[in-house]
């Protein structure tokens, strides 16, 4: 059985499909005045347009064999305000408690990391989270279904029939019930409204999001979660988000999973709170996108913290709900003690004495009838498990060679049959000294996914949790409070990776208790300390960018150099450093110098090429 526990890079790859292949013809959004909508629809039909979406103040049309300029000419009518491309939008996806979520409730690490365990959700406060995604599958029992509603769509089907695991996983992170099995959501049992906007291939359009936002509002939602994104802004979509926020709502969206500085939408709109992902060790996820907060060049340069990452939350190997039976779970016991593990492949059970095979690069008869204990490295996971099985081994445990649990599969061409699990490097000593082991792998209603898609519902759930205790606040009050109290991570102060830091429910709750709504302001960047000053001069050599940095006032032996909030060098405190960016073209960068491992820093200085 194929393991549905996706690694971050796999998730990012799944999301990297291009929109070009998905669009066989040009699709547009037409902003219209509502009284004239019928006239425009008739005009479009006569010109060969097919109606795809109809919302308040707009329609979406598809034209075969025509480009945008041609369509604008066909729809030249006084009732038409604007014709624009209908942008494609795609799905984006501490340690957990030990145990089997099919038999007991397991608390995901993000619940602890975000301090959700320290705040009590008030189910009577009127909170409702609208999840715009791929649907919530009704086969999973870990929800209070009498508190969940949704909207059907003729193009994507029933909201309660999930198109894959993504939407069900997201909804579980927001509000899975607090019971005796499964997982617990950040705001357990919160009212939810589900809108299924994605087709079977996992993509939709900006017009779908605009319409869905209007439906969220009609359903009485306070918060919208969008674990999705794509390239290009769209004014119709943005107008819908602006209206929702102006009415007091909060919208959160995923920053993106390509690990670069590209700004994804809808997260890149000022009305939408952009969410990045961190892991269980409080480190930034390698896939989490980090667009700059700065736009423009030269005198036209401006900084806007609402177009870049504002906060982060756990989004690496996140445990949550799946459609029933579509995930796999594993159990690992050594000498009667349970250890954390991750299913790799092959449903089944294995028990026996242990045999250490090293890196299992060859068949070894000593493994016959035993559970193979194997170190990661040198050869593929499949080859290791295959060598164990060919040696007569009954099961395989592969131990990671870096901190954390090993998440992996045996590949699409797997031909082995024995159950195989990954284990944590931290448990290596105990596993190597164990005399017996028991392995179990079975189908499960709960599984792991990675992505900013997983971090986003953590923030949506935390927002609902905090807001339920302060119902007089607006969405913007909650947004500001989450930023004001985030746990600073990465470079000191706000940076492009973490924004203000990792979201903290208890801290935000305490902040709103001490500060009345409407008066909450995000903390300013850390002020320069002492007399440490920095100058920066950018230049090009053979077309490549370089920055000369000079500073005064540092008293430490070494200094730390930061670019856009990322530590790029620790160097001798000799007053000068040249940053060779090895990039061509334009760009804007923020530099800061700090005394080594200290918050004694200069003010930030910008260089524009």
Q: What does the DSSP assignment read for 348-381?
A: EEEEEEEEE-TT--S--GGGTTSEEEEE--SS-H
What dihedral do alpha carbons 570, 571, 574, 576 form, nearest 10°?
-80
Q: How far is the C-alpha of 262 from the C-alpha of 198, rounded, in Å?
A: 23
Q: How many CB atoms lie within 10 A of CB 336?
A: 8
Q: Are 68 and 94 in contact (CB under 8 A)?
A: no
Q: How far is the CA of 143 from the CAs of 148, 259, 324, in angstroms?
A: 8, 33, 13
CB atoms within 10 A of CB 200: 10
Burial of 356 (C-beta count, 10 Å sphere; 0-12/13-18/19+): middle
Q: Which of 227, 444, 450, 453 is catalytic?
A: 453
Structure tokens at 301: 């340069």
Pairing assessment for the beta strands 436-444 and 348-356 based on DSSP bridges: antiparallel
- Chain centroid, CA 485 distance in Å: 20
d(Cα 430, Cα 337) in Å, to the nearest integer?
A: 10
Q: Is 166 a catalytic residue?
A: yes
Residue by residue, DSSP assigns 250-270 as EEEEE--SSSSSPPPBTTTST
Q: Point out the catalytic residue in the list 86, 96, 97, 133.
A: 133
CA-to-CA distance for 550 and 556, rounded, in angstroms? 15
Tokens matching residue 509: 């709750």
Task: For residue 223, give Cα distances in angstroms to 87, 133, 197, 505, 525.
Answer: 23, 14, 17, 16, 28
Cα–Cα distances in angstroms (integers) from residue 208 to residues 88, 384, 505, in the given order = 9, 46, 31
Are 493 and 522 in contact, with CB atoms under 8 Å apart?
no
Asked if residues 175 and 190 have their Cβ atoms less than 8 Å apart, the reply is yes
Q: How many CA atoms lie within 13 A of 385 on its CB side?
A: 25
Tell me whether residue 193 is one of the annotated catalytic residues: no
Residue 304: strand, helix, or coil: coil
What is the C-alpha separation between 227 and 229, in angstroms, rounded?
7
Whole-Å CA distances, 228 to 91, 92, 268, 473 = 4, 5, 12, 27
Cα distance between residue 567 and residue 496, in whole Å = 12
Contact partners, residue 295, CB within 8 Å, separation at least 6: 301, 302, 304, 307
Helix axes 475-484, 452-468, angle to 10 degrees: 110
Tokens 């500060």, located at residue: 515
Non-local CB neighbours of 247 within 8 Å, separated by 6+ positions: 217
Look up 470 and say whether it is catalytic.
no
Positions marked active-site? 133, 166, 453
């Amino acid at each position: 059985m194929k393991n549905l526990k996706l690694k971050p890079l796999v998730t990012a790859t799944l999301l990297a499909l291009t929109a070009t292949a998905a669009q066989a013809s040009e699709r547009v959004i037409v902003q219209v005045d509502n009284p004239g909508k019928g006239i425009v629809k008739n005009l479009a039909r006569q010109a060969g347009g097919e109606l795809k979406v109809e919302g308040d103040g707009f329609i979406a049309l598809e034209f075969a064999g025509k480009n945008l300029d041609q369509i604008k000419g066909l729809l030249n009518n006084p009732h038409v305000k604007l014709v624009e491309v209908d942008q494609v939008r795609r799905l984006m996806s501490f340690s957990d408690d030990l145990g089997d979520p099919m038999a007991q409730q397991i608390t995901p690490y993000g619940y602890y990391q975000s301090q959700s365990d320290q705040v009590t959700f008030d189910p009577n406060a009127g909170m409702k989270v609208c999840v715009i995604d791929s649907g919530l599958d009704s086969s999973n029992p870990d929800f209070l279904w009498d508190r969940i509603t949704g909207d059907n769509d003729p193009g994507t089907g029933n909201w309660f029939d999930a198109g894959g695991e993504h939407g069900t996983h997201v909804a579980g992170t927001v509000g899975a019930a607090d019971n005796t099995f499964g997982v617990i959501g950040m705001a357990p049992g919160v009212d939810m409204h589900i809108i299924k906007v994605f087709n079977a291939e996992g993509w939709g359009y900006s017009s779908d999001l605009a319409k869905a936002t209007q439906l969220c509002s009609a359903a009485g939602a306070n918060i919208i979660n969008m674990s999705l994104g794509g390239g290009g802004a769209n004014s119709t979509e943005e107008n819908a988000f602006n209206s929702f926020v102006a009415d007091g709502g909060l919208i959160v969206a995923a920053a993106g999973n390509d690990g670069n500085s590209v700004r994804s939408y809808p997260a890149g709109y000022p009305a939408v709170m952009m969410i990045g992902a961190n892991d269980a060790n409080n480190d930034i996820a390698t896939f989490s996108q980090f667009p700059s907060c700065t736009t423009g060049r030269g005198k036209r340069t401006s900084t806007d913290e609402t177009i870049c990452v504002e906060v982060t939350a756990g989004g690496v190997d996140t445990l949550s709900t799946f459609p029933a039976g579509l995930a796999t779970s594993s159990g690992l016991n050594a000498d009667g003690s349970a250890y954390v593990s991750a299913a790799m492949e092959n449903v089944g059970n294995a028990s026996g004495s242990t045999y250490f095979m090293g890196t299992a690069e060859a068949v070894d008869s000593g493994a016959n009838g035993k559970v193979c204990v194997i170190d990661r490295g040198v050869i593929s996971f499949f080859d290791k498990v295959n060598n164990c099985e060919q040696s007569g081994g009954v099961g395989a445990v592969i131990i990671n060679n870096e901190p954390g649990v090993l998440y992996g599969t045996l590949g699409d061409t797997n031909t082995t049959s024995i159950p195989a699990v990954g284990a944590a490097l931290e448990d290596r000593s105990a596993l190597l000294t164990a005399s017996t082991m028991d392995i179990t792998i079975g189908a499960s209603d709960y599984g792991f996914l990675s992505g900013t898609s997983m971090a986003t519902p953590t923030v949506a759930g935390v927002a609902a949790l905090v807001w339920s205790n302060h119902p007089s606040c607006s969405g913007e009050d909650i947004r500001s409070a989450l930023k004001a109290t985030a746990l600073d991570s990465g470079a000191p102060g706000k940076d492009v990776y973490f924004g203000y830091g990792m979201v903290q429910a208890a801290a935000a709750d305490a902040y709103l208790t001490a500060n009345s709504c409407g008066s909450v302001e995000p903390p300013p960047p850390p002020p320069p300390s002492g007399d440490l000053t920095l100058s920066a001069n950018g230049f090009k050599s053979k077309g490549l960018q370089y920055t000369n940095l000079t500073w005064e006032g540092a008293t430490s032996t070494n200094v730390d150099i930061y670019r856009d909030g990322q530590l790029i060098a620790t160097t001798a405190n000799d007053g000068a450093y040249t940053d060779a960016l090895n990039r061509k073209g334009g760009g804007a960068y923020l530099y800061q110098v700090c005394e080594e491992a200290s918050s004694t820093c200069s003010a930030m200085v910008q260089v524009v090429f």
